[in-house]
């Protein structure tokens, strides 16, 4: 390589910066000196690079679709293969979630429709992607174009793969249960991963994230599947895609049509007859291999990738969400997942008296009790009560009043409609009907530009009637810490009791 102005690959591509690094290689920004255009070049650095590069190139070359990355060339430099492809000026969905927080359901539908279209083209060419995840979905700056990339572990019908029989490749949190269980995979496996991707887009992370690879495996293959209600209008589509039996999942064409219709019209997808098929009975019989056997195969094949599944340490109340709950029992009791509102809908008698670590139960003079993060201080601001973190970065609010003629959902929808006038920069707002301790409730979520400092914030607000009172509980947090704010909200919601504890 030449060092004049940056390394020169194959005498043509001048490296100008690094874009990112993945499990199979490093992606660089480069200038094509022959054609005078900006490109991305992927430097592969694992064993079997040449064969892998050629296979990835041949795979992508078979697919023609506006939402699939365009491949230009495969070259060698110092005996190492490089894949040259179009440069998408933007961020991955993983970066968007990490930097900006979850996206609104309608935006998730737009992204999902584009990815599904790319999958439909790939499947028509006999290609399975096998690694659908936020890190492999790019969103172009300015245009919003969605691009599916990284076909490095894709499988082509009739082709020999680089991995031996029974080896595991992919990202376990996004991998279909039939692949986890060692069964054959088809297009439906990519669609399962799409369902997880949609959840991750609106939740901020995969609903199957756990503290260890073995727990991820157990969640995907055995635990009861409860899509987070934060998916809101997308819930019928997500439930259909996350059927454990591949034959019960809708095809790519149907899924793309439903997502695109919602993204373009704003009319939520209606539930289809197959969406409501129960998963009981046959659910566990699909997992043909014992958990221990599959765990061994996964751990051996995943290698260092397992480390990426471990969440960052989160302790204490001065900026930390509680860790996930213990694994499900052998009887199959579902496990609560931090940030999953479905974990907060248990009846009152099922909630332990002891609050989560980092919280304490308070009996508020206003006539209710709830779990409050350690270090928060109370402020009585009639008709509301607040609990603030230091510096008021996180704000937990509670309001009680006499119910009016409208129910909770109507109240929240009216608030949503008035959002642009009440909140500067109001956006990404939506209302989801739900329940609280068995009572009808409505969950309202939105993003806005914040207070005088102008830092964007995310708000989670639950309204319901109970015992002749209308309750409103909400948490507001900086947008970049929305997942932690959601954890505080879930703890308050799960522990809230009218009257003294």
Cα pseudo-dihedral 181, 182, 188, 190, rounded to 10? 90
**pLDDT at site 279:** 41
In a domain, 332, yes or no: no
Q: Count of domains in the chain?
A: 3
Q: Is the peptide bond before 195 cis (omega within 30 degrees of 0)?
A: no
Angstrom distances, CA of residue 301 to CA of 22, 26, 170, 298: 16, 21, 10, 5
Residues 305 and 409 in one domain: no
118 and 139 within one domain: yes
Contact present, 111 and 146 (Cβ < 8 Å): yes
Say if residue 141 is in the same domain as residue 217: yes
Domain boundary among the residues 309, 340, 373 is at 309
Q: Is residue 319 part of a domain?
A: no
CB of 170 within 8 A of CB of 131? yes
The DSSP element (H or E) to which 74 belongs, if any, is strand 71-77
- pLDDT on residue 76: 83
315: in domain: no
Where is the domain boundary, 86, 111, 128? 86
* Domain co-membership, 137 together with 286: yes
- Looking at the domain assignment, is residue 330 inside a domain? no
Q: φ and ψ at 48, to 5 degrees? A: 75, 25
Residue 3 lies in a domain: no
Neighbours of 103 (CB within 10 A): 21
* pLDDT per residue as tens digits for the range 326-363: 333 222 323 333 333 333 333 333 334 467 788 999 99
| pLDDT digit string, tens, across residues 468-491 | 999 999 999 998 888 788 889 988
Query: Is residue 223 in a domain?
Result: yes
Looking at 87-222, which runs of residues are DSSP E strands? 90-92, 127-128, 137-140, 146-148, 155-156
Does residue 275 sit within a domain? yes
Residue 249 confidence (pLDDT): 96
Q: Could you give the CA distance from residue 119 to residue 81 in angstroms, rounded to a whole number?
A: 26
For the chain, helix, strand, coil in percent to 5 are 35, 25, 40
Q: In which residue are the tokens 């019989």 written?
A: 285
Q: Annotate 5-71 with three-state secondary structure.
A: CCCEECCCEEEEEEEEECCCEEEEEEEECCCCEEEEEEEECCCCHHHHHHHHHHHHHCCCCCCECCE
Is position 336 within any domain? no
Tokens of 2: 């030449």
- Are 116 and 174 in a shared domain? yes
Q: What is the pLDDT of residue 285?
A: 37
| Residues 148 and 103 placed together within one structural domain of the fold | yes
pLDDT of residue 71: 83
Rounded-to-integer distance, Cα 382 and Cα 396, Å: 14
Using the 8-state DSSP alphabet, how is residue 166 labeled? T
Question: How would you label 439-453 residue by residue, b for 16+ Cβ within 10 Å and e otherwise?
Answer: eebbbbbbbbebeee
Q: Are 109 and 58 in the same domain?
A: no
Q: Which residues pair with 44 in a beta bridge?
A: 25
Spatial separation of the C-alpha atoms in residues 196 and 20, rounded to whole Å: 23
How many CB atoms within 10 Å of residue 374?
13
Range of the domain at 489: 356-498
Query: Do 8 and 2 form a contact (C-beta atoms < 8 A)?
Result: yes
Asked whether residue 227 falls in the same domain as residue 370, the answer is no
Per-residue pLDDT of the chain (501 residues; tens, 9 = 90+): 444 567 899 999 999 988 877 656 788 899 999 999 999 998 876 554 566 566 667 777 778 888 988 888 888 887 778 889 889 888 999 999 989 999 999 999 999 999 999 999 889 888 888 889 998 999 999 899 999 987 754 454 444 333 333 444 558 899 999 888 777 778 999 999 999 999 999 999 899 988 777 788 888 888 888 888 788 899 999 999 999 999 999 999 999 999 999 999 988 888 776 554 434 333 333 333 444 444 444 444 443 332 222 222 222 332 333 333 333 322 232 333 333 333 333 333 333 446 778 899 999 999 999 999 999 999 999 999 999 999 899 999 999 999 988 899 999 999 999 999 999 988 878 888 888 888 999 989 888 888 765 688 989 999 999 999 999 999 999 988 887 888 899 889 989 999 754
Does 89 qualify as catalytic in the annotation? Answer: no
Domain's final residue, options 52, 86, 120: 86
Closest CA to 176 of 197, 159, 200: 197
**What CATH number does residue 446 fall under?**
3.40.1000.10
Q: How far apart are the first and last CA of the chain?
A: 71
Please pick, among 49, 131, 340, 437, the residue that the annotation labels catalytic.
Answer: 131
The encoded tokens of residue 233 equal 């209008």
Quick one: 390 and 273 in the same domain? no
* 174 and 191 belong to one structural domain: yes
What was the pLDDT predicted at 273? Answer: 60
Residues 283 and 134 occupy one common structural domain: yes
Q: Do 40 and 104 lie in a common domain?
A: no
Identify the CATH number of the domain in which residue 269 sits.
Answer: 1.10.510.10
Q: Which pLDDT value is given to residue 155?
A: 52
């Amino acid at each position: 390589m030449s060092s004049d102005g940056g390394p020169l690959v194959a005498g043509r591509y001048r490296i100008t910066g690094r874009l990112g690094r993945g499990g199979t290689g490093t992606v660089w920004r480069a200038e094509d000196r022959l054609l005078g255009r900006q490109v991305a070049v992927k430097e592969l650095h694992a064993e079997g690079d040449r064969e892998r590069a050629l296979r990835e190139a041949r795979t992508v070359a078979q697919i023609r679709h506006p939402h699939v990355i365009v491949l230009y060339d495969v070259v060698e430099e110092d005996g190492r293969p490089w894949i040259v492809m179009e440069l998408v000026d933007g961020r991955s969905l993983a970066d968007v979630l990490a930097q900006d927080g979850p996206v609104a359901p309608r935006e998730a539908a737009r992204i999902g429709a584009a990815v599904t279209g790319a999958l439909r083209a790939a499947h028509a060419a006999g290609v399975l992607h096998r690694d659908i995840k936020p890190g492999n979905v790019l969103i172009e700056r300015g245009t919003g174009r969605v691009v599916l990339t990284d076909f490095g572990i894709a499988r082509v019908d009739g082709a020999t793969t680089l991995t031996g029989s029974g080896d595991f490749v992919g990202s376990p949190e996004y991998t279909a249960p039939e692949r986890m269980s060692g069964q054959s995979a088809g297009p439906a496996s990519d669609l399962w991963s799409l369902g997880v991707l949609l959840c991750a887009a609106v939740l901020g992370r995969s609903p199957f994230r756990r503290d260890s690879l073995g727990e991820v495996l157990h969640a995907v293959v055995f635990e009861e599947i409860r899509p987070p209600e934060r998916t809101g209008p997308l819930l019928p589509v997500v439930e259909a895609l996350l059927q454990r039996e591949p034959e019960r999942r809708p095809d790519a064409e149907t899924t793309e049509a439903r997502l695109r219709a919602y993204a373009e019209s704003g009319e939520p997808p209606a539930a289809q007859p197959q969406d409501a098929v129960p998963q009981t009975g046959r659910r566990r019989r699909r997992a043909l291999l014992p958990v221990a056997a599959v765990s061994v195969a996964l751990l051996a094949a995943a290698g260092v990738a397992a480390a990426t599944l471990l969440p960052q340490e989160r302790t204490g109340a001065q900026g930390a969400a509680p860790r996930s709950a213990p694994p499900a029992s052998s009887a199959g009791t579902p496990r609560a997942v931090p940030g999953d509102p479905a974990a907060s809908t248990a009846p009152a008698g099922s909630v332990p008296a002891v609050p989560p670590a980092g919280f304490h139960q308070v009996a508020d003079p206003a006539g209710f009790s709830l779990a409050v993060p350690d270090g928060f201080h109370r402020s009585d601001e009639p008709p509301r009560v607040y609990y603030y973190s230091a510096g008021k970065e996180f704000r937990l609010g509670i309001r009680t009043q006499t119910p009016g003629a409208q129910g909770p959902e109507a109240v929240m929808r009216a608030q949503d409609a008035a959002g642009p006038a009440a909140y500067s920069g109001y956006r990404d707002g939506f209302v989801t009907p739900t329940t609280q301790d068995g009572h009808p409730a409505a969950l309202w979520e939105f993003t806005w530009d914040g207070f005088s400092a102008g830092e964007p914030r995310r708000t989670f607000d639950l309204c319901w009637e109970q015992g002749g009172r209308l309750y409103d509980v909400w948490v507001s947090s900086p947008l970049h810490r929305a997942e932690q704010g959601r954890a505080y909200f879930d703890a308050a919601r799960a522990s809230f009791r009218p009257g003294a504890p």
